[in-house]
Amino acid sequence: MEDNFLANKYSHYVGVRFHYSNHAYFFGYKDLDLVKGDKVVVETTHGPELGEIFFDPIPIDQYRSPLELKPILRKATDVDLKLHEINLKDAQFALEICKNEVKKLAIDMNLISCEYTLDKSKVIFSYVADERVDFRELLKVLASKFHTRIELRQIGSRDKAKLVGGIGLCGLPLCCATFLNEFDGISIIRAKNQMLAINIPKLSGHCGKLLCCLKYEDEAYTELKKDFPPLGYKVFINKVEFTVTSVNVVSKMIKIDSEEDTMFLSLEDFKTQTGFKPKPQKLEENEKN
């Protein structure tokens, strides 16, 4: 039913990127001749905005996202492009005015950005705050100055990093500012699973939250660790008891300690000298059940 609805409404979909983000957001269209690089006016939840087509159109029958497709309204005209440039300048001016009013009213909020919709029917201020903010008085002041609809949108620290951008620990632009569209919950359990030192400052990103990239290799570590003995595992080599104290699934090395000695063995040598065999996955699942 949904596929038929989309097919009747749109013929293609494309990724559209806006000036304030490196992300491409999906939009649908019909009866338009569009290619990558075209400037278009699209309908968003805030109102009409100007963006640029980020990749060539794709037939609508290949759309698999559960997200609703908003429409591309038209190719951008010279008037649209001119309005967009004016709006960018006016938004910077509006941001400074809002910052001054926030300071006068002593409101505990940190303004991040300001955007006008293309038709200037709404101005959107994004801010970060530790607690809920009472901005009723601020709204009255801003309404008297801008004479348009005003939205004050509180965002989280991850969203702030996404808007502001920056360079990550890896030396590349932040994932949230380039390709991540959703922020999954990142738990310290992922760091423990990857046997990382639990040093919160080093495991945190620009937003102050745990690094999103902790999830990228988590499944691989879980799978690789199935071939290794658990930490604390006891073995005997030449009648001496050793305890597994560390494993490195990447280099496939295992550290074992006795009361008087420390040894580093490859996974294969460890299996040969101790007779260790990984527990079959099916047996593990049966035991859990």
Segment 16-34, tens digit of pLDDT:
988 877 778 899 998 888 9
Selection from 14, 22, 15 nearest residue 179 by Cα = 22
Residue 287 confidence (pLDDT) above 50: no
Average pLDDT value for the chain: 87
276 pLDDT above the threshold of 80: yes
pLDDT score of 1 = 43
> For the segment 41-62, what is each residue's pLDDT rounded down to a tens digit?
999 988 899 999 988 899 999 9
Q: Dihedral sign, CA of 11, 15, 20, 23?
A: positive
Kindly report the three-state secondary structure assignment for every residue of the chain.
CHHHHHHHHCCEEEEEECCCCCCCEEEEECCCCCCCCCEEEEECCCCEEEEEECCCCEEHHHCCCCCCCEEEEEECCHHHHHHHHHHHHHHHHHHHHHHHHHHHHCCCCEEEEEEECCCCCEEEEEEECCCCCCCHHHHHHHHHHHCCEEEEEECCHHHHHHHHCCECCCCCECHHHCCCCCCCCCCHHHHHHCCCCCCHHHHECCCCCECHHHHCCHHHHHHHHHHCCCCCCEEEECCEEEEEEEEECCCCEEEEECCCCEEEEEHHHHHHHHCCCCCCHHHHHHHHC
Residue 285 pLDDT > 60: no
pLDDT at position 2 = 53
**Residues forming a β-bridge with 263:** 256
| The pLDDT value given to residue 187 | 85
Asked if the model's pLDDT at residue 161 lies above 50, the reply is yes
Sequence spans of domains, the chain: 2-76, 81-155, 160-216, 224-288
Q: Return the pLDDT at 129.
A: 87
Task: Name the residue with higher pLDDT: 152 or 206.
Answer: 152
User: According to the CATH classification, is domain 224-288 in 2.30.30?
Assistant: yes
pLDDT of residue 59: 92
Predicted pLDDT of residue 23: 75
Which among 185, 84, 82, 105 has a CA at the least distance from the CA of 152? Answer: 105
pLDDT tens string 182-233: 667 788 999 888 888 888 888 888 888 888 888 888 999 999 999 999 999 9
Question: How confident is the model at residue 39, as a pLDDT?
Answer: 95
Give the pTM: 0.67
Is pLDDT of 68 > 90? Answer: no
Kindly tell me if the per-residue pLDDT of 173 is higher than 80: yes
Residue 24 and residue 55 in contact, taking contact as beta carbons nearer than 8 Å: yes
CA distance 119 to 191: 47
The reply to whether 81-155 and 224-288 are identical in fold is no
- Give the pLDDT confidence score for residue 283 in this predicted structure: 42
pLDDT digits (tens, 9 = 90+) for 101-145: 999 999 999 998 999 999 999 999 999 888 888 889 999 999 999
CATH number of 81-155: 3.30.300.20
